[in-house]
Amino acid sequence: TKINSTYEYVVVGSGPGGGPLAANLARAGHSVLLLEAGDDQGSNPNISQILNFNKAGNDPTTRWDFFVKHSDDPEREKKFEHYVYRRANGEFYVGMSPPKGASALGIYYPRAGTLGGCAMHNAGVSVNAADTDWNYIAEITGDETWGTEEMRRHLLSIENAVYAVNDTTHGHSGYLTLTQARVSVGNGSDGGALVQIVADAVGQGEVEVEALLKRDMNAQDKGRDLRTGIFGQIRHADAEGRRVGPNSFIKATLVDGRKFPLTVSLNSLVTRVLFEKEANDTSPRAVGVEYLEGESLYSADPRSSKNATGVVKQVTASREVIISGGVFNSPQILKLSGIGPASELLKWNISVVVDLPGVGTRMSDNYETSIIGLAQRDLHNVSGTHAVMLKSAAAIAANRTRDLYLFCGSFSFEGYWPGFPTEFGKSEYECAIVHMNPHSQDGTVTLRSSDPRDMPEINFRFYEEGEDEDLKAILDGVKWARSVLAKAPAGIAPFRELHPCKSTEVNCTDAEQKEWIKLNTYSHHATSTCQIGGDDDRLAVLDSKFRVRGVKGLRVVDASAFPRVPGAFPVLPTFMLSEKAFRDILADA
């Protein structure tokens, strides 16, 4: 496509934040340039079939490899069982006994640099945030349009809930096809037996297992966030398992005979926002962006090379620039553009446009762990995973919303590293555990240099706050799953547990389990590095309409805007946030 020099809107990044926003603005008749650092792998079967998500996560054509810290203590970091090193020959080493000459890289954190962003290699699990998460944004900003009712309306306009076809409380004509994952539970199958023991444990033993697997975790239901038990897993994919999301919506917009004014430029790494300040302006205005054109320019791309520098280009936005580079890249782009903590910018000789101390701070994420074991024999007819929502003892005592999301099945998911996962054969069975709304929200994204191709320094600082309560909640989930799995039919049980306890035979104390969980907690739901906040919050980066504070014509629309990590899985809330941003931007146009 020919790139013009001026568009009404320039959107940077095509993930669940930026992709649908660019498509929607063009469908509303505005000229839009969408700049994406990666290329398009929409027809690569590793990427296009949602159940290939493990292959997708390892595919060098889409992967962006970040290496992060979980704490400020380098010795503890290296006790992470899947810590990554670079061997002298350039290959990765994963583990705790690195060979001589290997250099420490850090804890692997997956992202995707491709048309569609991380929605192209995620597992697609699509869960609305709790009402309390949405209402929290309304409370801190005083902007009622963030309330749960309004946000629900955005969900209705984007979704095509084919799993709930006759349910009029869901939307059925949006771009985001949602289906429920299939689980084998046929008569006499191991899958059926293993779901049944969970159903018994959550007091749903009398209900048909098939009906439980259709329970709708995104139901329009006042008591929803307090309800626990088994649910079907909802995914942004169609009935044939093809991924649906930003990539398909952008493509549909480009091929539509109505010829919407959307231009997509791939292999375009945005390096900074351009500003102008006229004499009578109180604050600078974003008027465009600078970018580098070329393949694999960002150093997280495994195909990148230091010698590839790209061609410098500039483009103008007559209305607005919208940054949607994701949780690590949006704060990096702002900082490279002179928006961030002044002291950090000056260190890299970047002229300060606005001293905004919150950029790249208060990063938030869910805590994840898993209990995995080997059955006495191979398991048969166990495909698919089902969700179980639970409350920790503390959430029950305080009558708070459900805070544990488990998904159970015959699979192995112990987090991410190059070459993940470790497969343990046909007897493996796991309950993965997501602990929602953990206390610590102290992660940072800081510049490592002023070169836009370099990855920033990323430190999550897990467990800085509320360590006892969070570890206790996760342990509640682990113990619950262990006690349920012990009730599996003879011949399957007893499971030989691989972790957190090495085996059910060995007595493993609470303290030992907590230590193992703390060392090995993983995550992949990072948010909040450019967060929305109230006018009185000096670390707020955005106002409630996604506008970057202190400048004009610039917004950030992606998962970095959430003031704290929403619910169990961030992708559906990010699609909803994108839809909200579209409405807010149109209202100002």
Ligand X SMILES: Cc1cc2nc3c(=O)[nH]c(=O)nc-3n(C[C@H](O)[C@H](O)[C@H](O)COP(=O)(O)OP(=O)(O)OC[C@H]3O[C@@H](n4cnc5c(N)ncnc54)[C@H](O)[C@@H]3O)c2cc1C
Query: How many helices (DSSP H) and strands (DSSP E) are in the chain?
Result: 15, 24
DSSP secondary structure, 171-200, as one string: -BSSSEEEEEPP----TT-HHHHHHHHHHH
What SS3 class is residue 354?
Answer: strand
Each residue 53-92 as x (binds ligand X by CB under 6 A) or -, in order, gives: ----x-----------------------------------
- Interface residue with ligand X, options 333, 389, 484, 554 (CB under 6 A): 333
Spatial CA neighbour of 81 closest among 367, 499, 445: 499
- Interface residue with ligand X, options 121, 335, 435, 453 (CB under 6 A): 121
324 binds ligand X (CB under 6 A): yes
* Binding residues for ligand X restricted to 554-583, rule: CB under 6 A: 558-559, 569-572, 574
Spatial CA neighbour of 418 closest among 110, 52, 48, 123: 110
What are the φ and ψ backbone dihedral angles of 333, each rounded to 5 degrees?
-65, -45
Options 81-89, 266-274, 373-381, 403-411: segment touching ligand X (CB under 6 A)? 266-274
Q: Measured from the CB of residue 381, what is the shortest distance to ligand X in angstroms?
A: 24
For ligand X, the closer CB: 50 or 195: 50
Structure tokens at 13: 């990044």
For ligand X, the closer CB: 124 or 443: 124
* Binding residues for ligand X restricted to 268-297, rule: CB under 6 A: 268-270
16 binds ligand X (CB under 6 A): yes
Are 33 and 7 contacting, i.e. CB atoms less than 8 angstroms apart?
yes
Are 115 and 250 contacting, i.e. CB atoms less than 8 angstroms apart?
yes
Q: Measured from the CB of residue 54, what is the shortest distance to ligand X in angstroms?
A: 9
For ligand X, the closer CB: 62 or 196: 62
34 binds ligand X (CB under 6 A): no
- Beta strand spans in 333-413 (E): 339-340, 354-355, 367-374, 386-390, 404-409
DSSP 215: -
Q: Measured from the CB of residue 391, what is the shortest distance to ligand X in angstroms?
A: 21
- Interface residue with ligand X, options 118, 183, 297, 556 (CB under 6 A): 118
For ligand X, the closer CB: 119 or 161: 119
- Interface residue with ligand X, options 9, 10, 14, 532 (CB under 6 A): 14
Spatial CA neighbour of 388 closest among 485, 245, 469, 487: 485
For ligand X, the closer CB: 243 or 547: 243
Dihedral angle, C-alpha 237, 242, 247, 248, nearest 10 °: -90
Options 187-195, 267-275, 370-378, 542-550: segment touching ligand X (CB under 6 A)? 267-275
Residue 307: Cβ within 10 Å count: 5
Cα distances (Å, whole numbers) of residue 126 to 123, 218, 232, 571? 9, 9, 11, 6
Spatial CA neighbour of 570 closest among 386, 405, 370, 331: 405
Options 118-126, 368-376, 402-410, 442-450: segment touching ligand X (CB under 6 A)? 118-126
- Interface residue with ligand X, options 20, 117, 174, 438 (CB under 6 A): 117
Cα–Cα distance for residue pair 183/580, rounded to 1 Å? 33
Q: Measured from the CB of residue 527, what is the shortest distance to ligand X in angstroms?
A: 7
17 binds ligand X (CB under 6 A): yes
125 binds ligand X (CB under 6 A): yes
Would you tell me which residues interact with ligand X (CB under 6 A)?
Answer: 12-18, 35-38, 57, 110-111, 113-114, 117-119, 121-125, 268-270, 324-327, 329, 333, 524-525, 558-559, 569-572, 574
